[in-house]
Protein backbone atom coordinates (compact mmCIF):
# COMPACT_ATOMS: atom_id res chain seq x y z
CA UNK A 1 0.00 0.00 0.00
CA UNK A 2 1.22 3.50 -0.85
CA UNK A 3 -0.10 6.60 0.89
CA UNK A 4 -0.04 9.99 -0.82
CA UNK A 5 -1.02 13.07 1.16
CA UNK A 6 -0.60 15.85 -1.32
CA UNK A 7 0.59 18.65 0.96
CA UNK A 8 2.75 16.52 3.25
CA UNK A 9 4.07 14.28 0.48
CA UNK A 10 5.43 17.12 -1.64
CA UNK A 11 8.27 19.47 -0.73
CA UNK A 12 6.70 22.61 0.72
CA UNK A 13 8.13 25.95 1.73
CA UNK A 14 8.88 26.47 5.42
CA UNK A 15 5.52 27.26 7.09
CA UNK A 16 7.35 28.93 9.99
CA UNK A 17 8.56 31.61 7.56
CA UNK A 18 5.13 32.30 6.08
CA UNK A 19 3.72 35.80 6.47
CA UNK A 20 0.54 37.41 5.09
CA UNK A 21 2.73 39.66 2.94
CA UNK A 22 3.51 36.58 0.81
CA UNK A 23 0.07 36.99 -0.77
CA UNK A 24 0.69 40.60 -1.83
CA UNK A 25 2.36 41.90 -4.98
CA UNK A 26 5.92 43.18 -4.51
CA UNK A 27 5.07 46.78 -5.43
CA UNK A 28 2.70 46.95 -2.47
CA UNK A 29 5.30 45.77 0.06
CA UNK A 30 7.79 47.61 2.22
CA UNK A 31 11.46 46.65 2.04
CA UNK A 32 11.22 44.54 5.19
CA UNK A 33 8.15 42.76 3.85
CA UNK A 34 9.94 42.00 0.58
CA UNK A 35 12.73 40.37 2.58
CA UNK A 36 10.21 38.29 4.52
CA UNK A 37 8.58 37.19 1.27
CA UNK A 38 11.92 36.36 -0.34
CA UNK A 39 12.94 34.33 2.70
CA UNK A 40 9.77 32.30 2.48
CA UNK A 41 10.18 31.69 -1.27
CA UNK A 42 13.81 30.64 -0.81
CA UNK A 43 13.03 28.27 2.07
CA UNK A 44 12.52 25.50 -0.49
CA UNK A 45 15.81 24.66 -2.19
CA UNK A 46 16.37 24.31 -5.93
CA UNK A 47 16.34 20.49 -5.87
CA UNK A 48 13.21 20.43 -3.73
CA UNK A 49 11.50 22.92 -6.06
CA UNK A 50 12.40 20.80 -9.08
CA UNK A 51 10.97 17.68 -7.40
CA UNK A 52 7.85 19.61 -6.37
CA UNK A 53 7.10 20.83 -9.89
CA UNK A 54 7.77 17.38 -11.38
CA UNK A 55 5.30 15.84 -8.93
CA UNK A 56 2.81 18.61 -9.66
CA UNK A 57 2.60 17.54 -13.30
CA UNK A 58 1.57 13.98 -12.40
CA UNK A 59 -0.31 14.33 -9.11
CA UNK A 60 -3.68 14.10 -10.90
CA UNK A 61 -3.07 10.35 -11.28
CA UNK A 62 -3.49 9.84 -7.54
CA UNK A 63 -7.03 11.19 -7.65
CA UNK A 64 -8.28 10.19 -11.10
CA UNK A 65 -7.06 6.58 -11.18
CA UNK A 66 -9.85 4.00 -10.84
CA UNK A 67 -7.94 1.91 -8.31
CA UNK A 68 -6.98 4.54 -5.73
CA UNK A 69 -8.96 5.26 -2.58
CA UNK A 70 -9.44 8.97 -1.85
CA UNK A 71 -10.23 10.51 1.54
CA UNK A 72 -11.67 14.03 1.39
CA UNK A 73 -10.75 16.10 4.47
CA UNK A 74 -13.75 18.41 4.24
CA UNK A 75 -14.09 19.48 7.88
CA UNK A 76 -11.82 22.23 9.19
CA UNK A 77 -10.11 21.72 12.57
CA UNK A 78 -11.31 23.70 15.58
CA UNK A 79 -10.15 27.27 15.50
CA UNK A 80 -10.00 27.48 11.71
CA UNK A 81 -13.71 28.00 11.03
CA UNK A 82 -12.99 31.45 9.57
CA UNK A 83 -11.14 29.88 6.64
CA UNK A 84 -13.14 29.19 3.48
CA UNK A 85 -14.52 25.68 3.44
CA UNK A 86 -13.33 22.75 1.34
CA UNK A 87 -15.66 23.23 -1.63
CA UNK A 88 -14.93 26.97 -1.87
CA UNK A 89 -11.20 26.46 -2.32
CA UNK A 90 -9.30 25.78 -5.53
CA UNK A 91 -7.07 22.78 -4.90
CA UNK A 92 -9.75 20.79 -3.03
CA UNK A 93 -12.15 21.42 -5.94
CA UNK A 94 -9.47 20.10 -8.28
CA UNK A 95 -9.08 16.96 -6.16
CA UNK A 96 -12.82 16.35 -5.89
CA UNK A 97 -13.49 16.82 -9.60
CA UNK A 98 -10.61 14.54 -10.61
CA UNK A 99 -11.93 11.81 -8.35
CA UNK A 100 -15.27 11.96 -10.18
CA UNK A 101 -13.87 11.48 -13.68
CA UNK A 102 -13.85 7.69 -13.92
CA UNK A 103 -13.93 6.40 -10.37
CA UNK A 104 -17.04 4.56 -9.16
CA UNK A 105 -17.41 5.75 -5.57
CA UNK A 106 -18.45 2.24 -4.51
CA UNK A 107 -17.22 -1.15 -5.69
CA UNK A 108 -20.42 -3.19 -6.00
CA UNK A 109 -18.81 -6.61 -5.64
CA UNK A 110 -16.17 -5.93 -2.99
CA UNK A 111 -18.19 -3.29 -1.15
CA UNK A 112 -15.08 -1.12 -0.87
CA UNK A 113 -15.78 2.60 -0.69
CA UNK A 114 -13.30 4.33 -3.00
CA UNK A 115 -14.14 7.90 -2.01
CA UNK A 116 -14.79 8.88 1.60
CA UNK A 117 -15.76 12.25 3.04
CA UNK A 118 -14.19 12.31 6.50
CA UNK A 119 -16.06 15.50 7.34
CA UNK A 120 -19.54 13.99 7.00
CA UNK A 121 -21.33 11.90 9.59
CA UNK A 122 -21.63 8.89 7.28
CA UNK A 123 -18.11 9.45 5.91
CA UNK A 124 -19.49 8.49 2.50
CA UNK A 125 -18.71 10.96 -0.27
CA UNK A 126 -21.38 12.13 -2.70
CA UNK A 127 -20.73 11.02 -6.27
CA UNK A 128 -20.09 14.06 -8.45
CA UNK A 129 -20.55 13.97 -12.20
CA UNK A 130 -17.50 14.13 -14.48
CA UNK A 131 -16.71 17.66 -15.62
CA UNK A 132 -15.12 18.68 -18.91
CA UNK A 133 -12.03 20.88 -18.86
CA UNK A 134 -13.74 24.03 -20.17
CA UNK A 135 -16.48 23.76 -17.52
CA UNK A 136 -13.89 23.25 -14.79
CA UNK A 137 -11.88 26.27 -15.98
CA UNK A 138 -14.97 28.44 -15.47
CA UNK A 139 -15.77 26.88 -12.09
CA UNK A 140 -12.28 27.28 -10.70
CA UNK A 141 -12.31 31.07 -11.30
CA UNK A 142 -14.83 31.30 -8.45
CA UNK A 143 -12.58 29.42 -5.99
CA UNK A 144 -9.97 30.76 -3.60
CA UNK A 145 -6.26 29.93 -3.82
CA UNK A 146 -3.54 30.82 -1.36
CA UNK A 147 -1.37 31.56 -4.38
CA UNK A 148 -3.57 33.08 -7.08
CA UNK A 149 -1.25 31.92 -9.87
CA UNK A 150 -2.21 28.33 -8.97
CA UNK A 151 -5.61 28.77 -10.64
CA UNK A 152 -4.02 28.63 -14.10
CA UNK A 153 -1.90 25.62 -13.13
CA UNK A 154 -4.92 23.79 -11.73
CA UNK A 155 -7.09 24.50 -14.78
CA UNK A 156 -4.37 23.29 -17.15
CA UNK A 157 -3.64 20.14 -15.14
CA UNK A 158 -7.31 19.26 -14.92
CA UNK A 159 -8.09 19.93 -18.59
CA UNK A 160 -5.21 17.78 -19.81
CA UNK A 161 -6.18 14.91 -17.52
CA UNK A 162 -9.93 15.17 -18.23
CA UNK A 163 -9.40 15.17 -21.98
CA UNK A 164 -7.18 12.08 -21.86
CA UNK A 165 -9.38 10.17 -19.42
CA UNK A 166 -12.76 10.93 -21.00
CA UNK A 167 -11.56 10.12 -24.50
CA UNK A 168 -10.35 6.68 -23.38
CA UNK A 169 -13.44 5.79 -21.33
CA UNK A 170 -15.54 2.86 -22.60
CA UNK A 171 -18.18 2.56 -19.88
CA UNK A 172 -19.75 4.70 -17.17
CA UNK A 173 -21.86 3.36 -14.31
CA UNK A 174 -23.79 5.77 -12.08
CA UNK A 175 -26.57 3.42 -10.97
CA UNK A 176 -28.05 4.58 -7.68
CA UNK A 177 -26.29 7.96 -7.61
CA UNK A 178 -28.37 11.13 -7.37
CA UNK A 179 -27.88 13.38 -10.39
CA UNK A 180 -28.97 17.00 -9.99
CA UNK A 181 -29.80 19.32 -12.91
CA UNK A 182 -26.37 20.94 -12.51
CA UNK A 183 -24.74 17.51 -12.42
CA UNK A 184 -26.61 16.49 -15.56
CA UNK A 185 -25.35 19.59 -17.35
CA UNK A 186 -21.78 18.76 -16.33
CA UNK A 187 -22.27 15.17 -17.47
CA UNK A 188 -23.52 16.37 -20.86
CA UNK A 189 -20.38 18.44 -21.31
CA UNK A 190 -18.19 15.50 -20.35
CA UNK A 191 -20.02 13.19 -22.76
CA UNK A 192 -18.95 15.46 -25.61
CA UNK A 193 -15.41 14.14 -25.09
CA UNK A 194 -16.34 10.46 -24.63
CA UNK A 195 -15.55 9.40 -28.18
CA UNK A 196 -15.02 5.74 -27.21
CA UNK A 197 -17.90 5.33 -24.76
CA UNK A 198 -19.92 2.15 -25.41
CA UNK A 199 -22.16 1.90 -22.36
CA UNK A 200 -23.59 4.27 -19.76
CA UNK A 201 -25.81 3.21 -16.86
CA UNK A 202 -28.03 5.97 -15.47
CA UNK A 203 -30.55 3.72 -13.73
CA UNK A 204 -32.15 4.99 -10.52
CA UNK A 205 -30.31 8.32 -10.56
CA UNK A 206 -33.32 10.61 -9.91
CA UNK A 207 -33.13 11.97 -13.46
CA UNK A 208 -36.04 14.31 -14.19
CA UNK A 209 -37.04 16.41 -17.19
CA UNK A 210 -34.72 19.32 -16.35
CA UNK A 211 -31.82 16.90 -15.95
CA UNK A 212 -32.57 15.40 -19.36
CA UNK A 213 -32.83 18.83 -20.97
CA UNK A 214 -29.54 19.99 -19.42
CA UNK A 215 -27.71 16.85 -20.46
CA UNK A 216 -29.14 16.44 -23.95
CA UNK A 217 -28.78 20.08 -25.02
CA UNK A 218 -25.02 19.54 -25.10
CA UNK A 219 -25.17 16.52 -27.40
CA UNK A 220 -24.72 17.33 -31.08
CA UNK A 221 -24.63 15.39 -34.33
CA UNK A 222 -22.11 12.55 -34.30
CA UNK A 223 -21.47 12.66 -30.55
CA UNK A 224 -21.36 9.36 -28.68
CA UNK A 225 -20.95 7.62 -32.02
CA UNK A 226 -19.78 4.38 -30.37
CA UNK A 227 -22.44 4.23 -27.67
CA UNK A 228 -24.45 1.02 -27.96
CA UNK A 229 -26.06 0.65 -24.52
CA UNK A 230 -27.98 3.35 -22.61
CA UNK A 231 -29.93 2.62 -19.41
CA UNK A 232 -32.33 5.33 -18.21
CA UNK A 233 -34.82 3.16 -16.33
CA UNK A 234 -36.31 3.81 -12.88
CA UNK A 235 -36.19 7.60 -13.08
CA UNK A 236 -38.67 10.50 -13.26
CA UNK A 237 -38.60 11.27 -16.97
CA UNK A 238 -41.90 12.43 -18.48
CA UNK A 239 -42.80 13.54 -21.99
CA UNK A 240 -40.73 16.74 -21.70
CA UNK A 241 -37.57 14.87 -20.82
CA UNK A 242 -38.24 12.38 -23.59
CA UNK A 243 -38.62 15.26 -26.05
CA UNK A 244 -35.16 16.58 -25.14
CA UNK A 245 -33.66 13.11 -25.55
CA UNK A 246 -35.48 12.47 -28.83
CA UNK A 247 -34.30 15.80 -30.23
CA UNK A 248 -30.69 14.81 -29.54
CA UNK A 249 -31.31 11.53 -31.39
CA UNK A 250 -32.88 13.38 -34.32
CA UNK A 251 -29.88 15.73 -34.54
CA UNK A 252 -27.64 12.70 -34.97
CA UNK A 253 -26.27 11.98 -31.50
CA UNK A 254 -25.85 8.31 -30.53
CA UNK A 255 -26.24 7.09 -34.15
CA UNK A 256 -25.19 3.51 -33.36
CA UNK A 257 -27.31 2.95 -30.25
CA UNK A 258 -28.32 -0.72 -29.98
CA UNK A 259 -30.02 -0.99 -26.58
CA UNK A 260 -32.22 1.65 -24.93
CA UNK A 261 -33.94 1.03 -21.58
CA UNK A 262 -36.62 3.49 -20.43
CA UNK A 263 -38.55 1.09 -18.19
CA UNK A 264 -40.46 2.52 -15.21
CA UNK A 265 -40.38 6.19 -16.14
CA UNK A 266 -43.68 8.17 -16.07
CA UNK A 267 -43.39 8.99 -19.77
CA UNK A 268 -47.11 8.97 -20.47
CA UNK A 269 -46.35 8.81 -24.18
CA UNK A 270 -43.67 7.59 -26.58
CA UNK A 271 -44.61 9.98 -29.40
CA UNK A 272 -41.39 12.07 -29.30
CA UNK A 273 -39.35 8.88 -29.58
CA UNK A 274 -41.58 7.45 -32.30
CA UNK A 275 -41.19 10.71 -34.25
CA UNK A 276 -37.39 10.53 -33.93
CA UNK A 277 -37.33 6.93 -35.14
CA UNK A 278 -39.58 7.90 -38.03
CA UNK A 279 -37.02 10.51 -39.06
CA UNK A 280 -34.24 7.95 -39.20
CA UNK A 281 -32.73 8.25 -35.72
CA UNK A 282 -31.08 5.22 -34.06
CA UNK A 283 -31.56 2.99 -37.10
CA UNK A 284 -29.43 0.24 -35.52
CA UNK A 285 -31.54 -0.08 -32.38
CA UNK A 286 -31.97 -3.77 -31.47
CA UNK A 287 -33.57 -3.64 -28.01
CA UNK A 288 -36.07 -1.10 -26.67
CA UNK A 289 -37.71 -1.35 -23.25
CA UNK A 290 -40.62 0.98 -22.51
CA UNK A 291 -42.34 -1.27 -19.96
CA UNK A 292 -44.44 0.38 -17.24
CA UNK A 293 -44.21 3.86 -18.72
CA UNK A 294 -47.92 4.71 -19.04
CA UNK A 295 -48.11 4.36 -22.81
CA UNK A 296 -51.47 4.39 -24.62
CA UNK A 297 -52.95 2.88 -27.79
CA UNK A 298 -51.60 5.68 -30.00
CA UNK A 299 -48.10 4.66 -28.94
CA UNK A 300 -48.76 1.01 -29.80
CA UNK A 301 -50.10 2.15 -33.17
CA UNK A 302 -47.04 4.37 -33.67
CA UNK A 303 -44.62 1.50 -33.06
CA UNK A 304 -46.71 -0.75 -35.32
CA UNK A 305 -46.48 1.77 -38.16
CA UNK A 306 -42.72 2.14 -37.69
CA UNK A 307 -42.27 -1.62 -37.92
CA UNK A 308 -44.52 -1.90 -40.97
CA UNK A 309 -42.55 0.86 -42.71
CA UNK A 310 -39.21 -0.77 -41.88
CA UNK A 311 -38.06 2.15 -39.74
CA UNK A 312 -37.03 -0.24 -36.96
CA UNK A 313 -35.61 -2.92 -39.22
CA UNK A 314 -32.84 -3.87 -36.76
CA UNK A 315 -35.19 -4.24 -33.77
CA UNK A 316 -35.21 -7.70 -32.19
CA UNK A 317 -36.94 -6.98 -28.87
CA UNK A 318 -39.57 -4.42 -27.86
CA UNK A 319 -40.66 -4.61 -24.22
CA UNK A 320 -44.05 -2.97 -23.58
CA UNK A 321 -45.29 -4.82 -20.47
CA UNK A 322 -47.45 -2.86 -18.03
CA UNK A 323 -48.83 -0.24 -20.43
CA UNK A 324 -52.47 0.66 -21.14
CA UNK A 325 -52.84 -0.98 -24.54
CA UNK A 326 -56.16 -2.34 -25.70
CA UNK A 327 -56.18 -5.98 -26.79
CA UNK A 328 -56.55 -4.96 -30.45
CA UNK A 329 -53.67 -2.47 -30.39
CA UNK A 330 -51.45 -4.97 -28.59
CA UNK A 331 -52.36 -7.74 -31.03
CA UNK A 332 -51.52 -5.58 -34.05
CA UNK A 333 -48.21 -4.55 -32.51
CA UNK A 334 -47.32 -8.16 -31.73
CA UNK A 335 -48.20 -9.18 -35.29
CA UNK A 336 -45.89 -6.52 -36.71
CA UNK A 337 -43.12 -7.60 -34.34
CA UNK A 338 -43.45 -11.22 -35.47
CA UNK A 339 -43.39 -10.20 -39.14
CA UNK A 340 -40.23 -8.17 -38.56
CA UNK A 341 -38.55 -10.99 -36.64
CA UNK A 342 -38.74 -9.24 -33.26
CA UNK A 343 -40.37 -10.21 -29.95
CA UNK A 344 -42.21 -8.36 -27.19
Distance CA 223, CA 189 (A): 11
Each residue of 262-319: pLDDT tens digit? 999 999 999 999 999 999 999 999 999 999 999 999 999 999 999 999 999 999 999 9
Distance CA 247, CA 323 (A): 24
Beta bridge partners, 173, equal 201
Each residue of 306-322: pLDDT tens digit? 999 999 999 999 999 99
DSSP 200: E
pLDDT of 81: 64
pLDDT of 54: 76
Name the pLDDT band for 108 (thresholds 50, 70, 90): low
DSSP 24: S
As a whole number, mean pLDDT of residues 131-140 equals: 92
Each residue of 154-184: pLDDT tens digit? 899 899 889 988 999 999 989 988 999 999 9
Average pLDDT, the chain: 88
Identify which of 213, 331, 318, 197 has the alpha carbon closest to the alpha carbon of residue 257. Answer: 197
Helix (H) or strand (E) holding 259: strand 259-261
pTM of the complete model: 0.82
* DSSP of 108-146: TTT--BSEEETTSSS-BPPPPPP--HHHHHHHHTTSB-S
Domain ranges of the chain: 170-344
How distant, in Å, are the alpha carbons of 104, 176, 266, 305, 334 from that of 278?
A: 37, 33, 22, 9, 19
Helix (H) or strand (E) holding 254: none
> Are 130 and 166 within 8 A, CB to CB?
yes
Residue 10 has pLDDT above 70, yes or no: no
Tell me the three state secondary structure of residue 261: strand
More confident residue, 343 or 327: 327
More confident residue, 259 or 15: 259
Name the pLDDT band for 1 (thresholds 50, 70, 90): very low
Each residue of 197-231: pLDDT tens digit? 999 999 999 999 999 999 999 999 999 999 999 99
Q: Nearest 5°: phi and psi at 107?
A: -90, 115
Name the pLDDT band for 3 (thresholds 50, 70, 90): low
As a whole number, mean pLDDT of residues 117-135 equals: 85
- Please tell us whether the domain made up of 170-344 is placed in CATH 3.80.30.20: no
Distance CA 138, CA 158 (A): 12
Tell me the three state secondary structure of residue 264: coil
Each residue of 35-86: pLDDT tens digit? 888 888 888 888 887 877 777 777 777 777 877 888 888 887 777 766 678 8
Amino acid sequence: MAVFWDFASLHQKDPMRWDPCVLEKDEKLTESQRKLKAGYEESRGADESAAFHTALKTMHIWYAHRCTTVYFLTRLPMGWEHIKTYHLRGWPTFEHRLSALVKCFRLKVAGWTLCMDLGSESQEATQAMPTAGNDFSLEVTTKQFTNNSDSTVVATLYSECASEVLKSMEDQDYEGCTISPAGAKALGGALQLCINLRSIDLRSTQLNDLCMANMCERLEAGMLSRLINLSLNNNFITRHGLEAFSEALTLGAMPNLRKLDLERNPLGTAQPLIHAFGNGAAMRLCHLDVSHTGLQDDDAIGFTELLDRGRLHALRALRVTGNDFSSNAHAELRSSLVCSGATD
